[in-house]
Amino acid sequence: MSVVNGDIATSSGYTTTSLKRHPTYWLEDGSLVVRIQDTGFKVHRTLLQRNSPFIASGTWNSEENNRPASEEVEGCAVFSIPIDRGVSSDDFQTLLEHLYHDAPLDTDAPFARTAAVLRVASSKQLDFPSIYSIARKRFEELYPSGPQPFVHPDNIEEALELAVEHNIESVQRGLFYSIVTTSELHDEEEAGMGEAVTAAAPANESVPLDSRPLSPANKERAKKLMNSIMEHFTPILFTVETAEHMPCTDTFADKWMPLVIGPALENGGVGKPLETLQNIIDVDWEAEGLCAECAALKRQEWREQQEDIWAKIGVWLAETR
């Protein structure tokens, strides 16, 4: 073994590989060297074995991983993570930061840190079950689970891919909805929506759905969901409301186009039912001529429509599997 410019040359008789010491996690009292491609982490074997059945099993210490059992660095056994596990050195560093309490995955952990731990702690990678459970819980807390209020999060494409891959059902509905309502569907023939798609195209913040960095399967599910939402909500939006009292019904007849349909067409509201219904709820209908009784009844109906659409989104997504 030799060290040159911070690199460690190891020779086991089977292969010779240069390892770059990780700048933080090369611990003087470490007892195991974890190799991820050309980066080495010298850490405490017992800490990893105690938390990971995969590491504790010793299955990594075999010729199946193309590394001999006798390979050592500075007297420490080398754990060469198989490439097909898909582990990145950055994700492993984030896991170590949690394990060593340098940056634990707590309730205010950002998406990037949460996603890294979710990936690397899963059974597909290094299998840290208890830490994986913490990461799943934190991941679920990052995203909305209901229609009121609805806020579109950042990182929605990566988050959706992770949610589907790790079968985190509780957040998929909201993430698919965010994808759909911040996208444009340009393939009108495939969508089957014709002019309605053009009329409902979201404003400047939207992007073509086909340009989203999604897997083909999730992109197809999003397209089907978009179609289902628009087919359901278009007739609701374009049907003028009625009320218990005729004067209030007349008010809806006069005001529905300028206060509801017009704004919805301007901001892509046909494809954003939860937001559009909230905009309708927020109109000062009393100032427009509705009596207090009719206004209260209609707002309750619109809130129920939000809940109904939210439930239907779950059904429509289930049908796309």
pLDDT at residue 200 tops 60: no
pLDDT reported for residue 195: 42
Residues recorded for the chain: 321
- Which residue would you say has higher pLDDT here, 61 or 269? 269
pLDDT reported for residue 5: 43
- Which residue would you say has higher pLDDT here, 94 or 74? 94
| 164 and 18 within one domain | no
| 271 and 158 within one domain | yes
| 188 and 49 within one domain | no
Mean pLDDT of the 43-63 span: 83
Q: How many domains does the chain have?
A: 2
pLDDT at residue 190 tops 50: no
> Is residue 299 in a domain?
yes
- How far is 277 from 297, CA to CA, in rounded Å? 14
| 76 and 166 within one domain | no
> Is residue 282 in a domain?
yes
- Which residue would you say has higher pLDDT here, 151 or 38? 38
pLDDT reported for residue 144: 73
pLDDT band at 212 (very low <50, low <70, confident <90, very high): confident
Percent with pLDDT over 70 in the chain: 83
> Is residue 101 in a domain?
no
Parent domain of 171: 144-321
Phi, psi of 302 (to 5 degrees): -70, -35
pLDDT at residue 34 tops 70: yes
Listed in sequence order, the residues at least 6 apart from 255 whose beta carbon sits closer than 8 Å to its beta carbon are 288, 289
> Is residue 9 in a domain?
yes
- How far is 229 from 231, CA to CA, in rounded Å? 6
Mean pLDDT of the chain, nearest integer? 86
> Is residue 301 in a domain?
yes
* DSSP, residue by residue, 226-265: HHHHHHHHHHHHHSPP--SSHHHHHHHHHHHIIIIIHHHH
pLDDT reported for residue 59: 60
Pairing of strands 39-43, 72-73: unpaired
Handedness of CA 164, 166, 170, 175 (dihedral sign): negative
* DSSP, residue by residue, 168-181: -HHHHHHHHHHHHH
**Type of residue numbered 29:** D
Q: Chain-centre distance of CA 123, in angstroms?
A: 19
pLDDT reported for residue 201: 38
pLDDT at residue 69 tops 90: no
Contact 202, 267 (CB under 8 A): yes
* Residue pLDDT, tens place only, 93-148: 999 999 999 999 998 999 999 999 999 999 999 999 999 999 999 999 998 777 86
pLDDT band at 7 (very low <50, low <70, confident <90, very high): low
